[in-house]
Amino acid sequence: MNARSFRWVVVLCAFTLMFVGFGAAYSFPVFFGAFEAEFGAARADVSLVFALSASLYFVLGAPGGVLADRFGTRRVALVGVACLAVGLAAASFARSIEMLYVTYSIGLGIGIGLTYSPSVGAVQPWFDKQRVFASGLAVSGIGFGNLIAPPLVAWAIDELGWRGAYLALSIVALVLGGAAAAAIRNAPSTATTTSQGLSLGDAMSTRTFWMLYLATGLSGFGGFVPMVHLGRYAVDAGHPESFGVLLVSLIGLGGLLGRVLIGVVADRLGRMRSLALMQLMMASMLMFWWASTSWLALALMAVGFGLAFGGYVAAFPSVVMDLFGARSVAGIIGFIYTAAGIGTLFGPTLAGAAYDATGSYSASILGAATLALLASAVTWSVPIGAPAPARVSR
């Protein structure tokens, strides 16, 4: 198979790795009620299971990307899939919420951290004109996992219990994820892929890098609050548990559409402006959530938020490639995502703590919307064009 054809195999492998990892991660809200009931845990404590995991995989994106740049995506992704499968299997034996922190949170955190940034980074150098489209297809694995995993996991919990559902997820991760990790490859070494662009150190010496870092952190605070709490919010509003599961899937449906359609928006507005627009839309959907309790309004909010979040996630790697080049793209993406890890650690957890204290999500939703709006403003002010480093590597 020639390189032009094989690049789409790389996209498929990245899609599969993200489908497996994020399908397991974003099905977490389906387990939320079971954990509350079995462990007698407060919502802040249950939220922390997901928040620790998500924070860890964002933080580990930096070393994961650097390792992929140095040793190749295939080796790093294989280790990541192994950690993912072991973490899910071990979680099925947890006898306390603290054991879920040790098994689920750490296993998924390391597993996704070693597969997400490396696979997203691997796609970028294979493409030029179709980069946003290819990136969108690759990360649509996240939306696809978010769309179909929650209802399938809900069915598995009914049939097997939550412990059996985690064992089933472990097997799926090992088989599908292992095959994708074994097949993914980095682009052939050329002058473009090995020397063009900034090193991670040079990128970090630019103002542009830290503006993107700040915007990503602000987005992270609000980006995962609905992922964790929207389903419970719906149940609190009087809707059945099944509707809460549906809302999680609708976020995935919107995310799938956003990841595929972002290329059209980026072609018209430019990639950086599209990124800022997606953050603005996230803020708008969070405000809509704050004012919504009916099933139709919540469903529309879920799709709209998913579309905005999915478009943002799809456009971001291509923006990084545009600004900093291919030389250390996986490492740069991974390091900037550590900012999202900070936001993700505190956002869902603080939302749960606020609910435990007040019986309401209102303050958390409004806070998340405000931070997303600030993120859009920061992104909009990032200068377009490749930045020059403040120093030169020797």
Cα separation of the two ends of the chain? 38
3-class state of residue 328 by DSSP: coil
> Phi and psi of 325, rounded to 5°?
85, 180
Phi, psi of 177 (to 5 degrees): -65, -40
The phi, psi pair for 239, rounded to 5°, reads: -90, 155
Whether residue 10 has pLDDT greater than 80: yes
Can you give the pLDDT at residue 191? 40
179 burial type by CB count under 10 A (0-12 exposed, 13-18 middle, 19+ buried) = middle
**Domain at 3-380: CATH architecture:** Up-down Bundle (1.20)
pLDDT tens-digit readout, 274-306 = 889 999 999 999 999 999 999 999 999 999 999
What SS3 state is found at 325?
A: strand
Structural domain boundaries in the chain: 3-380
Cα–Cα distance between 44 and 46 in angstroms, integer?
Answer: 6
pLDDT at 193: 46
Residue 197: the pLDDT is 80
Counting every residue, how long is the chain? 394
Residue 352 contacts residue 231 (beta carbons within 8 Å):
no
What pTM was estimated for this model as a whole? 0.75
pLDDT in tens, 358-392: 999 999 999 999 999 999 999 999 876 656 555 43
pLDDT for the residue numbered 156: 94
Q: What is the mean pLDDT of residues 116-132?
A: 80
Q: How confident is the model over 157-215, as pLDDT tens digits?
A: 999 999 999 999 999 999 999 999 999 988 876 444 445 788 888 899 999 999 999 99
Residue % of the chain over a pLDDT of 70: 93
- pLDDT for the residue 49: 93
- Residue 131: name the closest of 292, 269, 7 by CA: 7
